[in-house]
Amino acid sequence: MGFFVRFWGTRGSIPTPGKVAHRYGGNTSCVEIRVDDTLFICDGGSGLRELGTNLLERAKGAPIEAHFLFSHMHWDHIQGFPFFTPVYIPANTFYIYGVKTGDTRFHRLLSGQMSSSYFPVDFSELRGTIVAADLGDTGERLIGNTTVRCLSLHHPGGSYAYRFERDGRSVVYATDNEIDQTLPDPESVIRDPLAPREIPEELVEFCRDADLLICDSQYTDDEYPTRIGWGHPRASTTVDLAVRAGAKQLALFHHDPMHSDHDVERKIANCRARVQRLGGDTFVFGAREGLEVRVDVKRPAP
Ligand SMILES: [Zn+2]
Ligand SMILES: [Zn+2]
């Protein structure tokens, strides 16, 4: 029992195997959130394959039930799904959530990547039960004993953040979000990277007092000017969000495929320095494969 988060894939854009990404991992987005016996899975990037293997070991033959919350359908967020073994087993049940009543878009698009031109097994041949569910008219639903809410983000084709809340503890998963383009004057902030950034109030409120904020933090300040419009923020901008929102911990997520472990560590150090400059007390760390964070106890050391 408890409120746990485990990272299975933390990389953005494309899987990045190899020694240089050994510490933070090369699998694309997949985060497991366990609240008591309710299992949530945020995104199905290549990290989902190993989560599937692990779930089967843990279940020891018992049926598996999980609730999938997809940020969006770009490849790096769905490519693990056809390799998620539990979905081939008849006793298992998976819910694929749309963000509004009757929204079956994610369920439909997910099946598209398994049509015969792309993959040898068709979606209709999966033996598990796959249910198209949704978050209702308000974009908020009680699942198990956890309230799940969504918020639309700034990304080509759209993306959604999810907030999971139980007994006053909360986790926000917000990836693929170019916050920088939602600032009142993005140009001036690029010219003066040290200036505080006016993060839109709606996003700040959504992340308010989160015990753990998992945030797309793909680019450094130096990289960003040549990547405007690609759909990802500067890591430093996510720091301003976390500090403004009073988040207790910030997990830098969706690491750039060009970044080595060393680069990620430099990014973390820069973000920690920015928290200090802003006078915040958010603890910043780099999301890495295999890391498990317990949310319902006093701040753990990742
Ligand atoms: Zn992505
Ligand atoms: Zn994307």
pLDDT over 90 (residue 113): no
| pLDDT score for 301 | 56
Ligand 2 centroid to 159 CA: how many Å? Answer: 7
Ligand 1 centroid to 249 CA: how many Å? Answer: 21
Q: Which ligand is nearest to the CA of 156?
A: 2
Strands (E), 154-222: 159-166, 169-174, 212-216
Q: Residue 241 to residues 177, 205, 294: CA-CA distances in angstroms?
A: 12, 10, 22
> Mean pLDDT, the chain, as a whole number?
95
The amino acid at residue 178 is E
Ligand 2 centroid to 155 CA: how many Å? Answer: 7
Ligand 1 centroid to 166 CA: how many Å? Answer: 27
Query: Could you count the other beta carbons within 10 Å of the beta carbon of residue 21?
Result: 24
Per-residue model confidence as pLDDT tens digits over 150-163: 999 999 999 999 99
Burial of residue 38, with CB atoms counted within 10 A of its CB: 0-12 exposed, 13-18 middle, 19 or more buried? middle
Q: pTM here?
A: 0.97
Ligand 1 centroid to 141 CA: how many Å? Answer: 25
Instruction: Give me the mean pLDDT over the 182-202 stretch.
Output: 89
Q: Which ligand is nearest to the CA of 253?
A: 1
Instruction: Give me the mean pLDDT over the 116-143 stretch.
Output: 92
143: tokens are 């699942």
- Decide the pairing of beta strands 283-286 and 249-253: parallel
Question: Residue 94's Cα: distance from chain center in Å?
Answer: 18
Q: Which ligand is nearest to the CA of 178?
A: 2
Ligand 2 centroid to 140 CA: how many Å? Answer: 23
Closest CA relative to residue 67, chosen from 177, 145, 180: 145
Instruction: Give me the mean pLDDT over the 17-45 stretch.
Output: 96
Banded pLDDT at 302 (limits 50, 70, 90): low
Q: Which ligand is nearest to the CA of 155?
A: 2
